[in-house]
Amino acid sequence: MNRRALLRGSIALAGLTMFGGVQAAIKPKTMSTAYITHASCLKHNMGANHPERPARLQAIEDALKLAGLFDLLSRYEAPQASKAQLTSCLLYTSRCV
């Protein structure tokens, strides 16, 4: 290790000590993954080959459970969108809603 790298490391370590210590800097931050769905999503059937089909949604959930990941998710029920929210989206116009 050259002197410049050692100096940079010492400065960084001193900075960490001043702002919460080394433990705070090396402690991994945890984040959770949200799983947002609603029972009504299983009623949205666009056809056998369309990606928005109930079987695909169920397969995703089954795979998450099989992998032991489902219980690690933060699960939420999706709220119903208002007409104003839908019409503010570029995909929809008031005629579609």
pLDDT in tens, the chain (97 residues): 455 544 344 444 444 444 454 455 556 667 889 999 999 988 888 888 888 889 889 999 999 999 999 999 999 999 988 888 877 776 656 666 6
The DSSP-derived string for 42-84 is GG----TTSSS-HHHHHHHHHHHHHTT-GGGSEEEEPPPPPHH
Task: Note the residue count of the chain.
Answer: 97
Element (H, E) at 34: strand 34-37
C-alpha distance from residue 21 to each of 9, 11, 14, 15, 30 (Å): 14, 13, 9, 8, 18
pLDDT of res. 64: 94
Q: Are 83 and 97 in contact (CB under 8 A)?
A: yes
